[in-house]
Structure formats: C-alpha cells, structure tokens
Structure 1
C-alpha cells in the first residue's frame, strides 16, 4: 500500500478514513471465507483448532515485524477477531 506524506491534519484524516473503509471491507471478506470454511468443520475441536490459531498468530506477528509495526498490537487485534469468528462458527455447528 502506498504511503504519502500529509500536508495537513485534514488530509491525514481523509487517508485514515479511506483505510478504515478498506479495513472493514477486508474484515467482511475474511468473515465470508470463514463462513465458507465452517462448512468443512464437524466438531467444536475443528473450529477451535489451537494449532491453527497459533499458526495464524505467528504469521501475523512476523508480517508486522517486517512492516515495522507493533507485533503485540497486531496479535491483540487478531486474537480478538479470531475469538469472535470462533464463536460465530460454533453457533453454526451446534444445533
């Protein structure tokens, strides 16, 4: 993603607003694919998959480091998002 130096607070806020829109769209797309994945899961253990959670956390922490952003923040955001999606998936597989 291209980064540009801002000439004003208003310009910085406009870029932030654009990024917020993009982030929400990306989260919605991620949710779409999680909803697809749940069709292939049969049990609560399949949904919760601690090994997969750790893989994802490790991967995003490493990407955060490469991009010089706080890996602790990225991990916190991902853990919250993953927990939300796990709860959503559990509702789908449980009668």
Structure 2
C-alpha cells in the first residue's frame, strides 16, 4: 500500500471520513453475523471461543503483513473489537434464551 496522493489535511480527513463510513457499515454487518451465531451455540461458555479468537488474530495479522502494515496494531484493534462482539453475542444469547423461556 503506497502513500495516497493527497495535498492537504482536509483532504486526508475527508478520505478518512469516507473510510470510517465503510468501516462502520462492515462492523454492523459483522455484528449481525455475530448475533446470528448466538443462535447456534448451546451454552454461554461457547460464546467466547479462544481457539477461534486466535485463528482470527493469526489471519488478520497475516493480512496486515501482506499489505505491509503493522501487524501489532491490527492485532490490538481486533482483540479489542472481538471483545466488544463477544459482549454483544452474550447479550444476544441471553436475550434469546430469556425470550424462549417466557413462551
């Protein structure tokens, strides 16, 4: 990934804003999949899958290296992001089980 040909701070910020919009859309899409995954897990202990977490970290740090970006930064971003998604999935898991027990 080469440096973009941008000539001002405003132009850089505008590009970042556009990227942020795309990232938010993708994070929402990922979040919906995470919530859907809660339906397939038989027990709350299945929500935090450490083996899966490490597989994801390995993949994304590898992707970062392929594009010559700092893999440590990507790892930290993903670990934090995944922790938030685990909380979302736990809430979804509880909501699903709670609503099922009321029927």
In the superposition, the TM-score normalised over structure 1's length comes to 0.88
Corresponding position of 1:5: 5
Give the 5 Å matches for 1:1-95.
4-94=4-94, 95=98
Q: Residues of 2 paired with 1:81 and 1:26: CA distance? A: 12
- Whole-Å Cα distance in 1 between the matches of residues 29 and 92 of structure 2? 18
Runs of 4+ in 1 over 6 A off after TM superposition: none
Shift of 1:7: 2.1
Shift of 1:53: 0.4
Q: CA RMSD in A?
A: 1.7
Unaligned runs of 5+ in 2: 99-103
Which segment is superposed worse, 35-44 or 49-58? 35-44
Q: Could you tell me which runs of 5 or more consecutive residues in structure 1 were left unpaired when the two chains were aligned.
A: none
| Counterpart contact for 1:61–1:74, Cα < 8 Å | yes
Aligned length: 94
Using the TM superposition, give the Cα deviation of residue 20 of structure 1 relative to its aligned residue in structure 2, in angstroms: 1.0
Computing the radius of gyration from Cα coordinates, the structure with the larger value is 2
TM-score, structure 2 as length reference: 0.82
